[in-house]
Amino acid sequence: MLPNLLLAILLTLPSFGAYVETMHCEPMENSGHECRILLKGKISRGEKLFLPYAQDIDQLKFESWVLGETGYLLNYPYAASQFPRIYSLQPLEGKETAELILRTRAYFPESKKPPAKVKVIDENFPLRKVYASPLLKLAFFLILLSGTFALLARLRRQTIDGWIYPLEELRVSVGATCCYLLLNSEWTHAGVPSLWSAEIHHFALDLCQVVSIWAAGSLLLGARFFDRSCIERVSNKTISSIHQKILDAGFLLSLFLLLPPLTDANRLDLSFLPVLIPATITVWASSRTMEWRRILKRSGKSPLFFHFSLLAFSSMNGISFILSMAIDFSFQWAFFYSSLLLLFAGAWRLQRFYAAKNRARILSTECKEILSKRSGGLDRLMALCEFLEDEWAAARVSILSVDQSRGLLLASAGPEAIANSEHSKSRKLGPFLKRVIREGHLLYAPVAEELGKELQEQGMRHSSLAFPFFLDGRVKAILCLMADEGERIPAMEVTIIEMLLKDLELEILSSVSQQVAEEKCNRLLALAREADGLAVEHLDTWGYLDYQNQDDRRMYLGLKLEKNPLFTKAPRLDRLFKEMMKDLSGQWAALAQAFEFVVKESKNDFWAVSPANYQSGFLKSIGPQKTAILFASLLEKSTRSTLSRPCYAALAFPEFRLALGYVHIRIQLKNRRTAIEIDTEDQTMIHSLREQSHSEILWIHEKGNPDLSDEGFAVHLSPFSISADPFMINRILSVTANRKELRKIELKANEILREQKRAA
Amino acid sequence: MDTLIESTRKTSIAILGTQSISQFPNLPQISNPTADNVQGIDFFLISTGNAKEALEKEVKFLFEQRILRSQIIFIQESAEPSSHVSERSSGVFALTKEETSEEIRIRFAQFLDQQKHRLLWEFWESAPGNAATGELIEKIHFAHSIALALNLSVQEHWQALVFSSRNGADPAAVWQSHHPLPFIVAEMAALVLQNLQNPFQLREELRVRSAHIPFRQRTEFRSAVEKCMELLWKGSNAA
C-alpha cells in the first residue's frame, strides 16, 4: 500500500521548471492579491495557463478582457480552491508578448500558499498532473467522512482489549477530532461565503479543537488498564479529581474566550491556552498512576498504540503551542498531524477489535452447528471442550458446574484432561476459581508466572484463564482453559475467547443444566432402584407408575449365611462374622449389578429379582433363566472363595443357603399405596426352598427337562427332590458358559466393588 | 482353584466299598477294610449306590476303627436322592454322568475344603456348646483355624480341638519339641485369646514359649497365627 501511496503523491506534484515568473503580486483588501503575469514568446494554439496554487476565488484578465474566473456559482461566491485551475489562452493566440492580470482572493489565507507561480501548458501536458492533487484531496475527504461515521457508530460499546475509556468522552474526542479534520479540508470550505462566513467556519474549527483537546484530557484521566489479572492488585496510586476539575474549568474558559466579540486576531491564539495547560498536565497525572511494566507486558499492540497517540496528542499540542509563541512554528500544523495520528490509531484499534470479533463470530457459528448435532448434555459439553482445545491447542479445557463454593467437573478435554474417574464427586473450589466467582468476570494469567506464588504453590503452572457463566445473577458454571506448559495466551486471543464464550453463553448454560439434570436423574434412579427396583422398572418416560403386564414372570434368587448360634456368646467371633458379612454383601451387590438384577432386600439376607429387560446383549441372548443360573453359580463361587479364606477360618465355613426359581410380579396395594411386588405364594415357596439348601444351589422349576441347551452353555444338575406337581427341585452342581462374556461380567463386578469401596 | 486341587493331592483319601467309583480313578480302593488298611486315611469315599445293608456295615466298621463321622463322604451317583445320608455331619457329594473328570475334581476339591470344617461341627455335636463359655468357644474356634493353617491331619486336628476344650497347661511353660502338635496348637489358641488386642505382645509370647521348638516350625506357627488373626487385628480393610 505504501508504494502506491508514494506513487500517488508523486503524481500529484506539479511539474517543476519552465514556469513563467509572475511579476509583482501585491496584496489587496479582503486577503486578496493582484498579480501581473508577463508571457514571453509567441502564444501558440492550444496553450493554457495552469495555476498550481489556486486560491478560493480568482479572475484572469488581459487588458480589459476576462480570460476566465472561478469561484462563482450562479453569481454566488464560494471557495473553489479544491478545483484545478486551467485558463485557456486562445484569445491571445499569435501574440508575441502579453501581460495578464490575475486577481485572487483567499477566505482562509493562513492555509493557502500565495499565488506565486503559474505555468503555460500545451495540449500534450499530462492532465494527471493537473487533476491528481485535487482528486487525492477528494479521496482523503471522503475517506475521512465515511471513517467518521463508521468510528462513531462502532464506538457505542466498549472494546474488550484490556483498556477501558469513558465511552462518552471517547466518542466526543473522536467526533471532535474528525470534525476538525473535515472542517480543515478544502472541500468543506465550499460553503464559504455564501452559506456561512469564514469567521463562522473558523469558529467551528476552533471549537472542535478545544473540545478535542478537552476530551483527550478527560480520556487520559478516565483511562484504566483492566487486564483481568488473576492476581489481586491493590493500587495505591489514584488520579486526584482536581485534575478533571481544572481541565473542565480550562475548557469552559477557552470556550468563553472563543466567543465573539472576544475573538480577535491577537487574542485568538490565547483562547487555547486555558485548556491546553491542564490537558498537558493530565499526561503526567495519568501516566504516573499506570503500571507501565505490566501494561507493556500484557497489553495488545493496537490499544497500546492508541493510548500512546493519545498521550502524544495531549503533550504535543501543549508543546507546539508554546513553541509557536516563541518561534516561527505552526501550532495548527502540529495539531493537524497529531489529530491524524490519533484517528489512525483509534481506527487501527477498532479494526483489530472488530477483526477479533468477526473471528469470534465465525467460530461461534461453527461451534453452534457442532453443538446442535449433539443431544445429550455431556455430549455437548465434551464437543465444546474439544472444539476449544482444538482451536487453541490447549493442554486442557474443562467445564464445571458451580453451586456457591463447591463445583462438579462435568467435562474435560485435551492432552491433560482430567479423567472421568476423578470427577465423580463435587469438591470445594480452589483459590483461582473462588476469585473468579468473587470478581464475576474472566480472569487470566498470560504466563504461568503471573499466577502468583499462592496459586503456583497450589500446583498451577500453566498459563490459564477462567470464564464464569451467570444465571439469575449467580455463577452457575465456569469454563477453564489451560495452555501447554511454557506457552503464552496472547491478550487478543483472550479477547476472542471471551467474545466467543459470551456468544455461546446460552448454549453452554443449557448444556450444563441438561447434564446436571440428567446426572441427578440417573443418581436418583439408582437410589430408587435400591429402594424399590421393581417400581422403577415400571416408570414411564414422565416418571409415572405404569403397570401393563399382567403375566410378568421373573427369576427370583435368595442367598443368606447361617450364623452359628454359638457366636452370640463369643463377641470376637461375632465381630469377625459381621466383617465377613460386610465383605460378602458388597460382593453380592456388585454381582447383582453386573447381572442387572434388582436387589430387593439386603442386610445379611440377600434377595434379587431379574429385570424386565436386559441391557447386555449376552444376557439378553441367553435369557432370564440361564442368566439367573449363571448369577447363582457366580454367587456360590464368590461366597465359597470368601468363606475359605484363612482370615475367616475361625468361623468354620458357615453354611450358606441359595435358592432360585420363577415368581410372578403383581401390582398390589401396600400401606395405602400402589406397589409392584412379588406374588406372596411364589415368594413363600422360594423362601422355604432356600431353607432346605445346605451350602448348595437349589433350583425349583416346572417338571420336564428345562430347555438349557445352548451352544457354549451347560448346566450340571442333580435331583434334589420332587415336590408337588408341576414343580421339581434340582441341585445345580456346575455351570459352563462363554468364558469371555463371563470374564467381562466378573471384571465389571470387580470394578463396581472397587468403586463402592472408594465411595465408602 | 489350584490350591484346592493341590490339597486333594496332599489329603489322604480312599474309596471304600465293593462298587468302584470310576470318576476317581487315581484314588486307592479298599475292598476288604481291616484295622490296618484304614489307619492314616483322612477321608473315605463310599458310594450310596451300594445296598443299604452293605452301606451300614461299612460305616459301622469305620466307627469301630474310631474313624470320625466327618471323615466319611458319601458319593451319590444315582439320579435318585438318598435320604438316609442327609445328616449334615455325613457329607454327600453328588456326581452326574455329564460332568467331565476335571469338573468333578474341581468340585470335589471345593467340597474337601469344606469338609475340614466338619471336624469342628462334629466336635460341637459331640460336646454341645450350650454349657461352654464365650471364651472357650473362641479358643476352640481359634485352635481350629490354626490347625487348618498348619494343615494338620484329621486325627491331629481333632485332638487339637479336644485339647483346646480343656484348661490350658501352665501359661508360662515353654513348649518342647516332644509335645504333641495338637497340644501346642491348643496352647497357641489360648495365647491368641489372651493377647488379641496386642499383636506385639502375642509375638513376644510366641517367641518365648516356642524357644525350644525348631526354627522352621516356630516360623510356621507364627505365620499360621498371623494368617488367622489378620482381620481381627487390622479390621475389614485388611481383607
Nearest chain B Cα to A582, which residue? B236
**Inter-chain CB proximity A572 and B114 less than 8 Å:** no
- Cell (9 digits) for B138: 473362641
From first to last of the 239 residues of chain B, give the pLDDT tens digit. Answer: 344 455 555 677 777 765 556 667 667 777 777 777 777 788 888 877 666 777 777 888 888 888 888 888 888 765 555 555 545 445 778 777 766 777 777 778 777 777 778 888 888 877 766 677 888 899 999 999 999 888 888 888 889 999 888 876 666 678 887 888 898 999 999 888 888 778 888 888 888 888 888 888 888 888 888 888 877 776 544 43
At residue A500, the pLDDT reads 94
At residue A451, the pLDDT reads 62
**Inter-chain CB proximity A575 and B232 less than 8 Å:** yes
Q: Which of A570, A647, A717 sits opposite B138 (nearest CB)?
A: A570
Taking contacts as CB-CB distances below 8 angstroms, the residues of chain A near B99 are: 716, 733-734
- Dihedrals phi, psi of B70, to nearest 5 degrees: -70, -10
* B134/chain A closest Cα distance in angstroms: 4
The larger pLDDT score, comparing residue A617 to residue A725, is at A617
Q: Cis before residue A261, ω within 30 degrees of 0? A: yes
Q: Does B174 touch chain A (CB under 8 A)?
A: no
**For chain A, which residues lie within 8 Å of any Cβ of chain B, measuring from their own Cβ?**
566-567, 569-573, 575-576, 579, 582-583, 640, 644-653, 694-695, 714, 716-721, 731, 733-734, 736
What is the three-class DSSP state of A672?
coil
Instruction: List b or e across B54-64, with b for residues whose CB sees 16 or more CB atoms inside 10 angstroms.
Output: ebeebbeebee
- Residue in B96, B102, B141 to test binding to A, most A beta-carbons within 10 Å: B141
Taking contacts as CB-CB distances below 8 angstroms, the residues of chain A near B110 are: 640
- Cell (9 digits) for A221: 484521566
Q: Which of B149, B232, B236 sits opposite A582 (nearest CB)?
A: B236
> In what helix (H) or strand (E) does residue A743 lie, and over which residues does it extend?
helix A739-759
Q: Does B226 touch chain A (CB under 8 A)?
A: no
Packing angle of the helix pair B215-234, B134-149 (nearest 10 deg): 130
Mean pLDDT over A83-105 rounds to 82
**Inter-chain CB proximity B103 and A569 less than 8 Å:** no
Beta bridge partners, A466, equal: A443, A480
Taking contacts as CB-CB distances below 8 angstroms, the residues of chain A near B88 are: 694
CB pairs under 8 A between A and B: 101
**Inter-chain CB proximity A718 and B196 less than 8 Å:** no
**Inter-chain CB proximity A652 and B141 less than 8 Å:** yes
Mean pLDDT over A542-559 rounds to 77
Confidence of residue A501 (pLDDT cuts 50, 70, 90): very high
- Give one DSSP letter per residue of A466-523, joined into a string: EEEEEETTEEEEEEEEEPPTT----HHHHHHHHHHHHHTHHHHHHHHHHHHHHHHHHH
**Inter-chain CB proximity A648 and B80 less than 8 Å:** no
pTM (2 d.p.): 0.58
**Inter-chain CB proximity A733 and B107 less than 8 Å:** yes
Beta bridge partners, B22, equal: none
Q: Does B218 touch chain A (CB under 8 A)?
A: no
Instruction: Single out the residue of A91, A87, A86 nearest to residue A127, CA to CA.
Output: A86
A347 with A181: CB under 8 angstroms?
Answer: no
At residue B239, the pLDDT reads 38
At residue B82, the pLDDT reads 55
At residue A309, the pLDDT reads 93
Confidence of residue A161 (pLDDT cuts 50, 70, 90): confident
Confidence of residue A15 (pLDDT cuts 50, 70, 90): very low
Classify residue A24 as exposed, middle or buried by CB count within 10 Å of its CB (0-12, 13-18, 19+): exposed
Residue A17 has pLDDT above 50, yes or no: no
Q: Which of A640, A653, A719 sits opposite B79 (nearest CB)?
A: A719
CA distances from A54 to A16, A62, A111, A473 (A): 16, 19, 12, 65
Taking contacts as CB-CB distances below 8 angstroms, the residues of chain B near A733 are: 94, 96, 99, 107
The larger pLDDT score, comparing residue A583 to residue A70, is at A583
Instruction: List b or e across A117-145, with b for residues whose CB sees 16 or more CB atoms inside 10 angstroms.
Output: bbbbbeeebeeebbbbbbbebeeebeebb
**Inter-chain CB proximity B132 and A647 less than 8 Å:** no
At residue A397, the pLDDT reads 93
**Inter-chain CB proximity A576 and B239 less than 8 Å:** no
- Give one DSSP letter per residue of A610-644, joined into a string: --SS-SSHHHHHHHHHHHHHHHHHHHHHHHHHHHT
- Residue in B23, B87, B97, B137 to test binding to A, most A beta-carbons within 10 Å: B137
Mean pLDDT across chain A, nearest whole number? Answer: 82
Mean pLDDT over A81-102 rounds to 81
Give every CB contact of residue A732 below 8 A, 6+ residues apart in sequence. Answer: A629, A632, A633, A696, A697, A698, A699, A715, A716, A717
Longest dimension (CA), chain B: 58
Q: What is the ipTM of this complex?
A: 0.84
Give every CB contact of residue A570 below 8 A, 6+ residues apart in sequence. Answer: B134, B135, B137, B138, B141
pLDDT digits (tens, 9 = 90+) for A343-366: 999 999 999 989 999 999 999 999
Mean pLDDT over A563-567 rounds to 88
CA–CA separation, B172 and B205 (whole Å): 9
**Inter-chain CB proximity B117 and A653 less than 8 Å:** yes
- Cell (9 digits) for A454: 499462592
* B234/chain A closest Cα distance in angstroms: 11
**Inter-chain CB proximity B231 and A721 less than 8 Å:** no
- Cell (9 digits) for A559: 442367598
Within 10 Å of residue A359's Cβ, how many Cβ atoms? 16
B74 with B92: CB under 8 angstroms?
Answer: yes
Mean pLDDT over A582-599 rounds to 91
Classify residue A96 as exposed, middle or buried by CB count within 10 Å of its CB (0-12, 13-18, 19+): exposed
Q: Does B128 touch chain A (CB under 8 A)?
A: no
- Give one DSSP letter per residue of A168-222, joined into a string: HHHHHHHHHHHHHHHHHSGGGGGGTBTTS-HHHHHHHHHHHHHHHHHHHHHHHHH
Taking contacts as CB-CB distances below 8 angstroms, the residues of chain A near B80 are: 719
Nearest chain A Cα to B189, which residue? A650
Beta bridge partners, B13, equal: B43
Q: Does B6 touch chain A (CB under 8 A)?
A: no
A749 with A598: CB under 8 angstroms?
Answer: no
CA–CA separation, A512 and A401 (whole Å): 7
Q: Which amino acid is at A268?
A: L
Within 10 Å of residue A295's Cβ, how many Cβ atoms? 16
A133 with A333: CB under 8 angstroms?
Answer: no
Residue A278 has pLDDT above 70, yes or no: yes
At residue A636, the pLDDT reads 92
The larger pLDDT score, comparing residue A80 to residue A142, is at A142
Mean pLDDT over A383-394 rounds to 92
A668: region left, alpha or beta (phi > 0 left; psi from -120 to 50 alpha): beta
Share of chain A above pLDDT 90, in %: 22
Confidence of residue A420 (pLDDT cuts 50, 70, 90): low
Q: Does B199 touch chain A (CB under 8 A)?
A: no
B229: region left, alpha or beta (phi > 0 left; psi from -120 to 50 alpha): alpha
Nearest chain A Cα to B142, which residue? A650
- Give one DSSP letter per residue of chain B, joined into a string: -HHHHHHHHHS-EEEESSS--TT-TTS-EESS--TTTTTT-SEEEEETTS-HHHHHHHHHHHHHTT--GGGEEEEE-SSS--GGG--TTSEEEE--TTS-HHHHHHHHHHHHHHHHHHHHHHHHHHS-TTSS-HHHHHHHHHHHHHHHHTT--HHHHHHHHHHHTSPPS-TTPPP-TTS-HHHHHHHHHHHHHHTTT-HHHHHHHHHHHTTTS-HHHHHHHHHHHHHHHHHHHH-GGG-
